Amino acid sequence: MVSISPKPGISDIIPYVGGKSNLSSKRKIIKLSSNEGALGPNPLAIKAFDSCATSLHRYPDGAAEDLRNAIGERYNLDPKKIICGAGSDELLTLLCRSFAGTGDEVLYSEYGFAMYPIMALSVGAKPVKAPEKNLSANVENLLNAVTSRTKIVFLANPNNPTGTYLSSSKMSHLREKLRDDILLVIDAAYAEFVHEGDYEPGLELVNEGENTVMTRTFSKIHALGGLRLGWAYCPQHIVDALNRIRSPFNVSTPALEAGIASFSDEEFLTRSQNHNDFWREWTKNELMNLGLSVGPSVCNFLLVCFNEKKNHGASSADSFLESKGILVRNLTNYNLPNCLRISIGLEEEMKLLIDSLSLFLSQDTPVFGKD
């Protein structure tokens, strides 16, 4: 009998595990595990989504022309250098398929998005991890990890799950020191949450050369994670390459229409940003008052580190919160076993989180499953 085996690298992949979405019980949950937009989608996006109901039998515009034009108008970009996908994940995968393969290396930062090594292995490339410094990507460590086989550098800026970012000057230094034949991919999924003056999401670096790509998503500030919608800004030759291998109708009509409508209400976008700013800082202060260590996040989540002694470690905290119906992100698969990533939710959700953690930390032996 002839056995069928997957290509080299596929069997080495440990499947990605996302944030928990539900519990075995039917109780109402508070989901703070996936960094979703706390206020939900723009009402105009919901209306646009609903308007597509009677035309679901029609294929979408494969070129996503209207959405690319809307993105171009908002950010003053050439729509011809924009490509849309079923989430930025799809576009990152297409970049790997286009520019890396067997024998190549794909470089990423130590605590970068867990999909980067999976994407590399899926095309037969070797994922290479560069050490971070103080839970932040380190440019010199990335440069020191480059070899003659390096084809792609994936860098989330700001980074998930740490919440840290690199300044525009550090990003420019990285691009300057990388070889011209290495593609720098800047994953700026959380860019809209960042207000720091020395941050730039990557648009300038794309404009300055032919070997940098910036990806963005509608899943975070625009709260359209369920529709799977993302986009990339690229040099024209890279757009051309990705268009050759993407699926012909890779973005659904409801996603396209909701994405366009998401740009239509600036007040709602500002309200979402202000909500995140306030409750991120409030939650950080409350967590620190409980004696927990909290990272300096610029995103819509916090990295919280626990003391592993006295039954008050991250794993126990995760289980305790789950017993209260609160879902957060365990980071064992990121090699951060003493940390949890906690998304910023609604006011009542964050207050219940703090009350629950206060109870957890006050008990010598935490009692689970009792409200």
The 3-class SS string of 161-196 reads CCCCCCCHHHHHHHHHHCCCCCEEEEECCCHHHCCC
pLDDT over 90 (residue 18):
no
Summarised one tens digit per residue, pLDDT across range 232-279 is: 999 999 999 999 999 999 999 999 999 999 999 999 999 999 999 999
Share of the chain above pLDDT 70, in %: 96
Nearest to 318 by CA among 309, 307, 327, 310: 327
pLDDT over 50 (residue 112):
yes
d(CA 282, CA 351): 10
d(CA 167, CA 169): 5
pLDDT over 50 (residue 363):
yes
CATH architecture of 43-262: 3-Layer(aba) Sandwich (3.40)
Burial category of 331 from C-beta neighbours within 10 Å (exposed 0-12, middle 13-18, buried 19 and up): buried
Per-chain mean pLDDT for the chain: 94
pLDDT classification of 199: cutoffs 50, 70, 90: very high
Q: Are 326 and 352 in contact (CB under 8 A)?
A: yes
Domain residue limits, the chain: 24-40+267-362, 43-262
89/310: higher pLDDT: 89
pLDDT over 90 (residue 89):
yes
Q: Are 125 and 183 in contact (CB under 8 A)?
A: no
> What residues contact 6, with CB distance under 8 A and at least 6 apart?
none
pLDDT over 50 (residue 370):
no
Query: Taking the CB of residue 17, how many other CB atoms lie within 10 A of it?
Result: 11
Q: What is the pTM of this model?
A: 0.93
d(CA 277, CA 283): 10
Within 10-159, residue ranges assigned H as helices are 43-50, 65-75, 88-99, 115-122, 139-144
d(CA 338, CA 120): 27
Nearest to 268 by CA among 43, 37, 67, 46: 43
The CATH code of the domain at 24-40+267-362 is: 3.90.1150.10
User: Mean pLDDT throughout 166-190?
Assistant: 98
